[in-house]
Structure 1
Amino acid sequence: MEHQSESPTLEELALQSSFQQWVRYPTPMLDQYWEMWMQGHPDRITLVNQARELVLSLHFPDDLTLEEVDEEWSKMQYLIQQESTEDVHVYHIERRRSLSFWVSRAAIVTGVLLGIALVYTWMRPLPMLTYKSGYGQVKNVVLPDGSTVVLNAHSSIRLDATWDANKPREVWMDGEAYFSVKHQSNNQRFLVHTPDSMTVEVLGTTFTVLSRATQSRVILNTGKIRLHRRIAGKSEAVVMQPGEQIALKKETKKLEKRMVNPEIYKGFTNNKLIFQNTPLPEIISQLEELYNLEVQTTDSLLLKKEFTGTFPINKPALLLEAITRAYKLQVIKERNRLVLEPVKDTL
């Protein structure tokens, strides 16, 4: 949902696309949002009612094009200039007219300008909301339907500013995120799209999605989801049960299913990195993705090792220290580039 200012003016409130959507085409979700907004801003209820009347009083042809709007705008600018000149002339002749007369004339001009702005706003597509987390940062996001998303570091999601109750709820993501989806009374679908042509379809559940350059996977915590993938013009669908992980192998482009402990993979929601017999190449990938590091090793045997441990997500140095101690390594650091190599024996 679009961010609302604490004390919007009448014009600012009327111009907000989500407000216009609610007034003209209300949905249960929009009703709930604006009711909660007014509960939190009881002093703005009169303003909301005035803005609502303003939006409803403005009627424009459905087939009006942007070119026609531009033409009308040019005409209106000319008329406003003429109006201003006339006002000055009349004012000199009839100085005794009441202040309310001039206020009403100004209100008409303001209303016309606001109407034109509303046309532009209404004819354009609703904006997309984007939420991003930085390197080493975990972010919590509340979606328009009350569902929640926890973004792991260096991740993002995009979604429409408002959701139509008669259409699927859709989110486009990149990186890693944990979703807790609220089931809707009309069984409205919830879709998560990833860059590698995978779509997770749910009704109400909790799950983790990872989509990065080196690996992609979906892990189901609770409920049931259907994973769709489109490849070479063909569609593939797999139904998942709680505790299952489906990973997309980048080399073979095939989906592989196995049972896992979902709690390990959602550790970042509690600001933790949890590893349980995790291959070191996977840990190295996480260091690179989460902290904007380039990690290399001169010991090929090290890439066959596994590691177990739990660490604060905001302290990658503790993880590096534990790995170097466990495998007798030293770290050579050059800015964001780390080289792991065995400690040389000294006589």
Structure 2
Amino acid sequence: METNVHKYLLFDHFAGKSTAMQKRLIEDWLKHPQNQELFYEWLVEWERHSPQYLPELDQKLEAYIQHMAHSQHAGTAEQPETIQENTSEQGGSPWRFNRRLLWSAASLFFVLGLAAWLLQDMWLYTTYRTAYNETKTLNLIDGTKVILNSNSSLKIPSFGFGNRTREVILTGEANFSVKHTLDNQKFIVKTPQNLEVVVLGTEFTVYSRVRGSKVVLDKGKVQLRYQQGNTQKEMMMAPGDLVTVDLAGLANVRKIQNPKNHAAWAAHRFVFEGTTLQELTQLFEDNFGLKIRIEGEELKKLTLYGSFQAHSAEELLKALTEAANLSYTIQNDSIIVTDSLF
């Protein structure tokens, strides 16, 4: 009988469509420990493809408003005149009062729905985070090594990772050294910008922040999947390729000489190969949470070259300004960089 328990029977069960006999069959099947992890894996898969738990607040609220409006209209006609006068003296109609209650109820529904979504996310994934000016090394269960850069997060499925799935979700920046498996299982890095990096075994760095995405391939071969408008695009990368994808989904690829320089931050080393001061401000905001203002349009275009060792924002800023003969001052919550000659 237990062999009759399959994924699609459980999908019907999760949707509330299973019969009493099927429920009893599933209960017996779950008594075996080896089936319990499979149960949760299929539950995760079903929830990813079943949005029915998302609260339809707008539709439910509108239907409830119409119901209350109808009920209030019917009830008001039966109220004694003295009651109506008393309500008016208090400065508002019963409908206004009920509408306020209604919006309070809607807010409560929204908060409960949001809390359920957050708890579901916490249950489905184990999330690793780094603060500003912090890096973290992760050794995943499948043998993959990940170095997470500052102000970044990596979500790993709580169930089945390394067995039936090797998908992770990255926000920020990380360097991956992916271990090849005997069954050639793909390792997939997903980002909030709809970029996917699909690999078997390789070393690469992924950058995914609000301004766009970037992938640098050091060893092996990877496939990129990204969204350009309504079209799904794909691209194969070779070692030494640097691909940037902007917010519109436009991809640009170019060859670089030293791919490892783009992961030098893992050793607290920052390598600049023609980086402008304007681009430098983005690095300080991403990695250290600091806002830097460059005084003068020409100064923003100044390019930096070299390798700098720094364990803090202050160390890096001091080294860069001294090397480029620049000055900086701190005003409120901003750092202002100027030319030392002025």
SS of the residue corresponding to residue 167 of structure 1 reads: coil
Q: Which residue of 2 aligns with 1:337?
A: 334
Q: Sort the Cα spacing of 1:275 and 1:160 in 2 relative to 1 into closer, same or farther, 3 A.
A: same
Give the C-alpha shift of residue 280 in structure 1: 2.1
Deviation track 1:140-195 (CA, whole Å, cap 9, x = no partner) reads 01112121110011111001123256633110011000011111111111110011
Count of matched residue positions in the alignment of Structure 1 and Structure 2: 229
Q: Is the 8 A contact 1:129 1:161 kept in 2?
A: yes
Q: Which runs of 5+ in 2 are unaligned?
A: 1-29, 38-119
Of 134-143 and 276-285, the range deviating more from structure 2: 276-285
Matched, 1:253 2:263: no
Q: 1:21-36 counterparts in 2 under 5 A?
A: 23-25=33-35
For 1:229, the aligned partner's letter is: Y
Per the alignment, residue 129 of structure 2 pairs with 132
The 5 Å alignment of 1:224-239 reads 224-239=221-236
Larger relative contact order (CA 8 Å, sep ≥ 6)? 1
Contact 2:145 2:178 in 1 (8 A): yes
Question: Which residue is 2:18 aligned to?
Answer: none
- 1:156 counterpart letter in structure 2: S
SS at match of 2:142: coil
The DSSP-based 3-state class of the residue aligned with 2:271 is strand
- Return closer, same or farther for 1:231/1:311 CA change in 2, 3 Å cut-off: same
Matched, 1:203 2:213: no
Distance 2:35 2:275 in 1: 50
| TM-score, structure 1 as length reference | 0.61
1:325–1:271: structure 2 CA closer, same or farther, 3 Å change rule?
A: closer
Residue 94 of structure 1: aligned partner: none
Q: Counterpart of 1:188 in 2: which secondary structure?
A: coil
Deviates more, 1:217-226 or 1:124-133: 124-133
Task: Give the equivalent residue in structure 2 for 1:317.
Answer: 314
Q: In 2, distance between residues paired with 1:182 and 1:340?
A: 44
Maintained 8 Å contact 2:193/2:212: no
Check the 8 A contact 1:214/1:285 in 2, yes or no: no
Q: Contact 2:228/2:250 (CA < 8 Å) preserved in 1?
A: no
Cα 1:289/1:233, change in 2 over 3 Å: same
* CA distance in structure 2 between the partners assigned to 1:177 and 1:22 by the alignment: 39
Cα gap change, 1:165/1:140 in structure 2, threshold over 3 Å: closer, same or farther?
A: closer
Taking a change above 3 Å as real, the CA distance of residues 166 and 321 of structure 1, as seen in their structure-2 partners, is closer
The corresponding residue for 1:188 is 185
Unaligned runs of 5+ in 1: 1-19, 28-123
Whichever residue aligns with residue 163 of structure 1, its letter is G
**1:15-94 correspondence to structure 2 within 5 Å:** 23-25=33-35
The equivalent position to 1:243 in structure 2, one of 214, 229, 240, is 240
